Each structure stands twice: as structure tokens, then as C-alpha cells.
Amino acid sequence: MVKPVNPALGRKSQYRRLRLADRKWRQKHHRIKIHRITAETVNHSRFELSPTTAFAAAALSAALLFLSFQLNNSSWPLAFIALIPLLAGAAACQSPRTAAGLGLLSGFFFFYIELYWITNSIAGFTSLPTLVVILVMALLALYMSLYVAIFCGLWHYLNHLNALESAYGKIISTLAGAAIWLLLEDFRGWFLGGFPWHPLGLTQIDNQFVSWLLPLGGVRLLSSLVIFGNLAIYLTGRALFRKRLRAVMLYCGLLLLPLIGLALIGSGSDNLPTLKSQITNPADPEPSRSRIAVIQPNILQKEKWRPENRDKIIEKMLLLSRKSLADNPDLIIWPEAALPLLLENEPEIFNRLHRFVTENQVSLMLGSPRLIRQENGSGKTLFNSIFLISPVQRLQIYNKVKLVPYGEFTPMASLFPFISKIVPGLSYSPGDKILNFNLKQLKIAPSVCFEGVFPAFSAGFFAAGANLLINLTNDAWFGDSPGPRQHLANIRLRALENNCTIVRCANTGISAIINPAGKIEQYLPLNQEGILSAEIACRHQPPTFFASHRFLPTYLAGLYLLLTSAFIFYRRSGYRT
């Protein structure tokens, strides 16, 4: 047993004597390391950050994150160092609660700056006072920053556990930190309907060294890889600063070398067809080719639903569609809620569209609200839907499943009825299933607006056999802001994850054709009327590994955290079985 020390000695002397006595006892009895020194005994070895230093660390990480999300060839490296100031600050805090507060501050800075454009929708289409609009935006940024706070608090706890204080223990906590971040991003994409906007892995979409992992594990895998890189660089730098060369060599060998290995594989992936075939499951060499025409009408949101503009909008859409016939398209695509009406409730308009399709032997895909009377006659259900009208096939309809929280439905409205008054929105109902549209050789995954930012949900269409993703959206709500550009960037990930072509049709832009490598081949600029004609090649292929096992990263991260928890419990118990 460790003998008690003289309480008259200083705290540092007590700490040294306790550690020395403990080491001698372990050597004598050939037992594993037993940590009987409590966190309260060694709290003096940590220090509390001054408010200025804490603010600077939080702000610096937020600024680096903002720069890394600019998505150009020079921005992606910043993501691997962006969180290091925050990690250093969190490690210096005295408690997990303080570290979580630092993460909350940094996350709030980042998300408020990155998502400020949402105020355009609230201020432009509601009568809320400016102060209330600012408050709503602050609440959204605060909610998003909660996940950063939870990560910082949990990582602080793991980093200061006696059971993980060795160099090997730090490696375990580094992997645990990456797993925690992955699970937090997954939870953010589910809770209250989900808002998976701007996952950390998005910063690597133009990084050829690691983007090849997207069809293997999706964007969540890249997010955890970026966190792993930040933690590995931080731990290596800290050990180097403290001149712990053995720990530096261990971290370089077990943490940094795997990252370098992945980068080397990625840099030569074009010369590794066997590896790429195992990941993306390439299809037959002869793809089916179809011509499509994307209509971008550029109708302002304030003008769209005015009764006096109804006939003008219908004529404009048909006029642009007739112009597109010059390129002999197989499919004409209109954006989300293309017409200011309920299409199924307007038989005259529907018949007019059907005549256009039949006379020109072209299919038409468009978005429209859909109102269905319930079977018991007690009420009506409103859906945000996509219609595919074909000259030779029956009408195909898809009802949007993933609705926009506080835009198309109000989470927790029954518990907090005042929320729907602050942020008014329509009461849409979600569809009950996903389905693919069949059109000649195409098997189309229909996607409405916000649905394109959900990785596992979108992959479900390709697991069911889709070979083309068509996303219809109306970003006119966001005006001339970063919102439409961010929306386009988020949906580019789906092309890489599913090895597919994406056609995006937006009311005011940005409409685009995205190839399976995630590159934008053609696009129409924001706030510009136009027609985008293109020939697309779609292969009949098995789904990628991610599409077939889209929940595997989540399961593996959860399993690793369970095993880490069991290991910590075992080490803290002080016994070996």
C-alpha cells in the first residue's frame, strides 16, 4: 500500500512522492499500473485559461474553420490544423465543463458567420422585428455549436483520464475523439428532423489525397479523419515541445504515418484500377446516354405566389421548354414547386402539360405541392412532391421524405407552440418511402431540395438500384447569399459517395451537372434565367461500398467507444483477469 505523506509538504512534493511510491509498489508486486491518485490531487498541474487566451483560441479555430470551408485547392489543408488552437485551449482547462464552454464559444463564432444568410429567409419572408431575427439566428448557431461543446468536453475527459495517460493511451483517446465526432455529426443529421449542413469532411471534397475514401465510408469517414489529423498533429506537437522524443516517435509511427499512407494511395489512385474497382464497383463499359434539358426560370420568391402572376409563370415555363426542344432532349426538368399551384388539383393545367409531353415525345419532371384527402375524410395531407410525366409511361410521383425543420414542419410544436409563431412555416407531411423513377434506361433517384445533403438517405436510392440523382430545389428563399453556393457544395458529396452523375435544377440557381468525380461540368449562374442542355452517360452498376453499407461507419464508431469504455473501466478497477 502507498503510505500517506506529510500534509505539511507542498502539493507538488506530495504528487511526486505519491507517484514514486506507487511506481515502487508496482515494481515490487509485478502488477499492472494502478492509478489511485484522484483528479483532484493533480488539478494543480493544469491551469485555467485567462478569458483573453480562451477567446483568442476559440476565435482562431473558428476563423481557420471558416477559411477551410471556402472549398478551393488551397483551403483543404487548413482543416487539419483548424481545431488545434481549440484543442490546446480545451486541454488547458481545469474541467470538462470549462472545455465544453470553450467549444461552445468557438462553434458559435463559426456557425454564426457561416450560416448568417439564413436571416435573409427569415427577414425577407416574415414580419418579425430585426432583433427577433438576430435572436433566432443566434439560437441556431448556439444549437449547432452544442455539438462542438460536447466533443470538447468529452475529449478533455478522455485526455485527462489516468487510465489513458500513457502514450498508447493517448492514441486510444485520439481514435475515440474521431469516433465521437462521427457520432455527433450523425446525431445532428437525425435529431429534430436533422440538419447535417456542412459536415467537416466537406472541406476535403477537392482533396484528391483522401476524397477517394468517400465511396468507401461517406463524408462521415472524412470528418472523423480530419478530427483524427487535428488530434494527431496536436499530440505530436505537444510531445515535441516537451522534448518527449519517444512519444514523438510513437505518435509519428501510429498516428501520422497512416495519414501519409492514405494520402499516397490517393495521389496514385488513378493508377490503381484494382483498388478503385473494389471501392466503386464500376459498371459495364457501355453506358446508356440520354439528353436532358434543365430549365432555370429565375422567378423571385416574392413574385411567385401572387395570383396575378400565375398565368405568366405557366407560359414562361412552357416557352423555355419549347426552346429547349432544339437540342432534342429525352427529359426536361423543372425546379421544385415550379408552378404556383397544386398540380393534381388543376386538371386543365395537368392536361396541358401532358399534351406538351405527348406531342413532343419528351418526358417532363417537375416539383409541385400535393394535397391528398385522408382516407377517413377527416382532413387533408400536404406533400412536397416530384412528378414524372412521360408520353409512354404512367405518372410517377415521389413525396419528399426529409423535410426542412422550421420551414416545412415545426419540430416539438406540441410542446412549444410559440415556436411556430416565431418561425412560421408550412405544415408539410413527410413521404413514407423512397422510390426510384424508371425512364427508359435511366433509374432516377428523385431528390427535393434539402434531401440532397443527407448522405445515408441519398445512398438508399442507389442501394435500390438508381444510376442518376436529380435534385430539384428552390433556393430563391436565400437571395444572393452564400446559401445556394453552400447547398451546391454539400450535394457534390453525393456524386462521389455513390459514383453517380447528379443533375441539379434550381429556380434561381445554381443549376448544374456534376460528374461522378464530384466536379461541376456545366452550370447556370445564380439569379440568371437559362437552359442547361447536356448529354449524360449513366451506367448500370452495383452500388458502392458506402451505399451498400451506409450505416457501417456509425456502427464501428459506436463499437469502438464501447470497447474504449470497457478498457477504461478495466484499467481503473486495478485488476487483471
The pLDDT of residue 234 is above 70: yes
Distance CA 224, CA 219 (A): 9
**pLDDT confidence of residue 418:** 60
Cβ contacts of residue 398 below 8 Å, gap of 6+?
385, 386, 431, 434, 435, 437, 446, 448
The pLDDT of residue 272 is above 50: no
The pLDDT of residue 161 is above 70: yes
Q: Find the range with the poorest average confidence among 43-47, 191-195, 201-205, 565-569.
A: 43-47
Percent of the chain with pLDDT over 70: 82
Is beta strand 331-333 parallel, antiparallel or unpaired with respect to 288-296? parallel
Distance CA 353, CA 315 (A): 11
Collapsing DSSP to helix, strand or coil, 97 comes out as helix
- Nearest CA-CA partner of 304 in 316, 315, 313: 313
**pLDDT confidence of residue 73:** 78
Q: Find the range with the poorest average confidence among 45-54, 279-288, 436-445.
A: 279-288
Q: 514-562 pLDDT, tens per residue?
A: 999 899 999 999 989 999 999 988 877 889 999 999 999 999 999 999 9
336 included as an active-site residue = yes
Cell of 161: 483520464
The pLDDT of residue 91 is above 90: no
Q: Give the residue-averaged pLDDT of 269-283.
A: 45
Angle (CA) 431-436-438 rounded to 5° is: 135
Cell of 4: 500517506
Q: 138-152 pLDDT, tens per residue?
A: 988 999 999 999 999
Cell of 475: 433556393
The pLDDT of residue 6 is above 60: no
- Nearest CA-CA partner of 471 in 499, 448, 438: 448
Instruction: Name the strand (E) or helix (H) holding 502.
Output: strand 501-506
Query: Which amino acid type is present at position 113?
Result: I
Residue 39's pLDDT band, with cuts at 50, 70 and 90, is very low
Residue 244's pLDDT band, with cuts at 50, 70 and 90, is confident
Cell of 130: 430585426
The pLDDT of residue 1 is above 70: no
Residue 250's pLDDT band, with cuts at 50, 70 and 90, is confident
Is the Cα torsion angle 18, 20, 23, 27 positive or negative in sign? negative
Is beta strand 442-448 parallel, antiparallel or unpaired with respect to 468-473? parallel
Phi, psi at residue 512, to the nearest 5°? -160, 160
Catalytic residue among 93, 152, 449, 500: 449
Residues facing 292 on adjacent strands: 331, 534
Catalytic residue among 336, 408, 451, 497: 336
Percent of the chain with pLDDT over 90: 44
**pLDDT confidence of residue 47:** 47
Instruction: Name the strand (E) or helix (H) holding 368.
Output: strand 363-373
**pLDDT confidence of residue 419:** 62
Distance CA 248, CA 226 (A): 20
Distance CA 465, CA 460 (A): 9
**pLDDT confidence of residue 291:** 92
Q: 43-88 pLDDT, tens per residue?
A: 334 445 677 888 899 999 999 999 999 888 788 999 999 999 999 9
Q: Give the residue-averaged pLDDT of 210-233.
A: 91
pTM for this entry: 0.84
Q: 467-523 pLDDT, tens per residue?
A: 899 999 998 888 788 889 999 999 999 999 999 999 999 999 899 999 998 999 999
Half-sphere exposure in the Cβ direction for 154 (13 Å, CA):
20
Whether 72 and 221 have beta carbons less than 8 Å apart is answered as no
**pLDDT confidence of residue 11:** 60
Distance CA 251, CA 248 (A): 5
Burial of 125-162, coded b for 16+ CB within 10 Å and e otherwise, reads eeebeeeebbebbeebbebbbbbbbbbbbbbbbbbbbb
Distance CA 381, CA 376 (A): 12
Distance CA 552, CA 218 (A): 10
Residue 212's pLDDT band, with cuts at 50, 70 and 90, is confident
33 included as an active-site residue = no
449 included as an active-site residue = yes
Catalytic residue among 304, 400, 402, 443: 400
Whether 453 and 481 have beta carbons less than 8 Å apart is answered as no
The pLDDT of residue 417 is above 70: no
The pLDDT of residue 391 is above 50: yes
